[in-house]
Each structure stands twice: as C-alpha cells, then as structure tokens.
Amino acid sequence: MSDEQPAPQSRGVTAELLGTVDLAGEIEGMAGHRLRMRRFTIEPGGVLGPLHDHAGRPGIVYILQGTITDHRDGVATDYGPGLGWPEDRHTLHWLENRGTVPAVEVSVDIVRQE
C-alpha cells in the first residue's frame, strides 16, 4: 500500500525500559555497547516518529497487542500481535497506531552505553 504522507513527530507514545545487559564482558569487541529491551505503548492515533534510522542500533520488534503501521520506503505495512520486524542499518521508518485500541510492542536493540 503506497503511503506518501510526511512523517509526523511523536505523540501518544509511552516507553518503558525493561532491562539491559552490558555487552563488554559478554562478546569480544562489544565494549561500550549494551543490549536493551523496552516496551512501547502507542495510543490510538499515536505516532512513534519522526522518520528515524537504526544505523549502529540494530534490533527487532515484536507486537504484543493492537496493530502498528510501519512506514518505510513509501509503503505502509500493518503488523498485529505475534508479528514483528527487524531493524538494521538500512531501516528508515516511522510508526503509527491507526487502530482503536492501544498497540504494544517489545523492542530489543543494541545501543552504545550512555
């Protein structure tokens, strides 16, 4: 489905940090990086934006509840419970909840230590 609308700013999104693992002692060459798990809730009409990439921050998303629309490369793709997508250096996207119930996802990624 083609989707040419501009990427709006975030609204109606709650993020909760569920846990982290310092990767320095776990994997050679990963000093300064951590594995992070977060839960995002996107309210109906909410947006996780603006357009953003995942260069240097690879991860994977899993949908627990509701439907999340992933906008990338001019295409809007809906993901419901039990589905998800990878996020790698080629990912450039933004997300929204077009539904009538809160959408909940778990996101796991590798990030640099803050």
The more confident residue out of 37 and 3 is 37
62: how many CB neighbours lie within 10 A of its CB?
Answer: 15
Q: Are the C-beta atoms of residues 75 and 4 closer than 8 Å to each other?
A: no
User: Among 88, 108, 96, which Cα is nearest to 70's?
Assistant: 96
User: Among 82, 53, 88, which Cα is nearest to 65's?
Assistant: 82
Tokens encoding 66: 């509701």
Q: Are the C-beta atoms of residues 27 and 107 closer than 8 Å to each other?
A: no
Global pTM? 0.89
pLDDT tens across 63-112, in order? 999 999 999 988 999 999 999 999 999 999 999 999 999 999 999 999 99
CB-based contacts of 50: which residues, under 8 Å, 6+ apart?
7, 8, 9, 10, 94
Q: What is the CA radius of gyration of the chain?
A: 15
pLDDT tens across 15-37, in order? 999 999 999 999 999 999 999 99
Right CATH number for 11-112 from 1.10.3720.10, 3.40.50.620, 3.30.300.90, 2.60.120.10? 2.60.120.10
Q: Are the C-beta atoms of residues 108 and 37 closer than 8 Å to each other?
A: yes
